[in-house]
């Protein structure tokens, strides 16, 4: 028997749950299918630097109380370039704007609890095995749960299932254009229950490679170092990681590094990826299903949130008035913001990392770029405006 809902959502990460929460507040019924268990979703370690627009959206969804209570307001970042440190102050460059550090895992937990409290229809360990009718009058989402296949007829489907999900693969190849750059390195990340070495994030360019000092709370730190794309995690015991991190951060920051056993260690590849358009008939792509940015600019989760914002506007307008204008403009509006974030993340990555082809000329260009940045209020304003987040337009 085929079930009927207005919006089928593939994926119960933060974008899928946030979309469901906001739509249900407008009386628009949703069904969320997630291939993994709830425990697995919560075990995924992700970033957590939130733009004001993302914070506002979480408040609108009614899940902001713990975020405001436990999140860390940051008014700037430090950039360390081969021993020289410079701080970029956000409020003075952006009219008072800041960012909030609050882990993506905690956002997901808050959204899970909100959906559960509201009786939201979220089905875990339900693999979506097919999407059909996307270019017709009704979309059909088929999922398998406990060996039984189910069908759900939907007005629209939101693909929030990431880069490897079924949603993007359901679009005919000749209906989209893909833009991609794969970087020749990754980020080796360590999570540890130790206090952060700095009250604000430190982005470091060192001759041995990039490093980042960040945090999840006053007692939990997240550190990264650049490594070859084919590096093996087994080659990086904790002692080696801490020693390399201290070298790359420089003596000033290294003096504040408290070491301890890692509670999570992983290597994340870096890529830039965008698919155009983000809509195919009754299917809309959100988050990593449609675009990926290098983590250098802290834009991945925030772009997913802006996608949610634009789609909620379109769907609420459609169900309130019958107009498809905002739905029809969803892809164009989202992509304008996505490409600006891609540019910023590409620029930050280019400034801070060692590339195989950098060479002597490239090193001098990075140095000149850094010197210009720290000596120019205009350049610092550009960085600050992009980091705290461009408006949802």
pLDDT digits (tens, 9 = 90+) for 281-312: 999 999 999 999 999 999 999 999 999 999 99
Q: For the domain 2-51+60-71+103-180+271-353, what is the CATH code?
A: 3.50.50.60
Q: Which of these is catalytic: 203, 224, 280, 330?
A: 203
pLDDT band with cut points at 50, 70 and 90 for residue 243: very high
pLDDT per residue over 325-354, tens digit each? 999 999 999 999 999 999 999 999 999 999
pLDDT per residue over 115-130, tens digit each? 999 999 999 999 999 9
Residue 387: active-site member: yes
377 has pLDDT over 80 = yes
pLDDT per residue over 153-203, tens digit each? 999 999 999 999 999 999 999 999 999 999 999 999 999 999 999 999 999
Q: Which of these is catalytic: 102, 183, 330, 387?
A: 387
pTM of the entire predicted model? 0.96
pLDDT per residue over 96-122, tens digit each? 999 999 999 999 999 999 999 999 999
Rounded Cα gap, residues 382 and 93, in angstroms: 8
Q: Which of these is catalytic: 14, 35, 74, 353?
A: 74
Q: Within a 10 A sphere around the Cβ of 284, how many other Cβ atoms?
A: 28
Chain mean pLDDT for the chain: 96
Residue 196: active-site member: no
Residue 35: active-site member: no
Q: Which of these is catalytic: 35, 206, 299, 353?
A: 299
Residue 150: active-site member: no
Name the E strands within the chain: 2-10, 30-34, 49-50, 72-74, 76-81, 84-89, 99-101, 122-124, 126-132, 139-145, 148-159, 177-192, 202-206, 209-217, 220-228, 262-276, 279-280, 283-285, 291-292
pLDDT per residue over 8-24, tens digit each? 999 999 999 999 999 99
Q: Which of these is catalytic: 14, 196, 294, 295?
A: 295
DSSP string, 234-276: GG--HHHHHHHHHHHH-HHHHTTPPP--EEEEEEEEEEEEEEE
Residue 178 contacts residue 255 (beta carbons within 8 Å): no
Q: What pLDDT sits at residue 84?
A: 84
pLDDT band with cut points at 50, 70 and 90 for residue 44: confident
Q: What pLDDT sits at residue 46?
A: 75
Residue spans per domain, the chain = 2-51+60-71+103-180+271-353
């Amino acid at each position: 028997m085929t079930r009927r809902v207005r919006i089928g959502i593939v994926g119960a990460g933060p974008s899928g749950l946030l979309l469901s929460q906001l739509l249900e507040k407008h009386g628009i019924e949703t069904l969320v299918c997630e291939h993994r268990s709830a425990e697995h979703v919560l075990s995924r370690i992700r970033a957590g630097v939130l733009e004001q627009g993302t914070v506002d959206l979480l408040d609108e969804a009614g899940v902001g109380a713990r975020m405001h209570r436990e999140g860390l307001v940051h008014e700037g970042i430090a950039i360390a370039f081969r021993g020289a440190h410079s701080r970029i102050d956000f409020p003075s460059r952006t009219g008072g704007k800041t960012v909030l550090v609050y882990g993506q895992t905690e956002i997901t937990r808050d959204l899970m609890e909100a959906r559960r409290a509201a009786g939201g229809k979220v089905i875990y360990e339900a693999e979506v095995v097919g999407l059909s009718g996307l270019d017709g009058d009704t979309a059909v989402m088929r999922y398998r749960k406990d060996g039984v296949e189910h069908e759900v007829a939907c007005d629209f489907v939101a693909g929030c299932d990431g880069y490897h999900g079924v949603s993007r693969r359901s679009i005919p190849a000749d209906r989209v254009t893909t833009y991609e750059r794969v970087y020749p390195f990754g980020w080796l990340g360590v999570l540890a229950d130790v206090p952060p070495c700095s009250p604000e994030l430190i982005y470091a360019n060192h001759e041995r490679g990039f490093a980042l000092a960040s945090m999840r709370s006053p007692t939990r730190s997240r550190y990264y170092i650049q490594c070859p794309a084919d590096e093996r995690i087994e080659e990086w015991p904790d002692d080696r990681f801490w020693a390399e991190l201290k070298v790359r951060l420089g003596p000033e920051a290294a003096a504040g590094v408290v070491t301890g056993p890692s509670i999570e260690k992983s290597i994340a590849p870096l890529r830039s990826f965008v698919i155009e358009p983000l809509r195919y008939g009754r299917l809309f792509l959100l988050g990593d299903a449609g675009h990926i940015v290098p983590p250098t600019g802290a834009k991945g989760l925030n772009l997913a949130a802006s996608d949610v914002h634009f789609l909620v506007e379109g769907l609420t307008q459609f169900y309130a008035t019958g107009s498809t204008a905002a739905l029809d403009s969803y892809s164009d509006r989202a992509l304008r913001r996505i490409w600006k974030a891609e540019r910023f993340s590409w620029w930050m990555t280019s400034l801070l990392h060692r590339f195989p082809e950098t060479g002597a000329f490239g090193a001098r260009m990075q140095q000149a770029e850094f010197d210009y940045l720290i000596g120019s209020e205009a350049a610092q304003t550009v960085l600050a405006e992009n980091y705290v987040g461009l408006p949802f337009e």
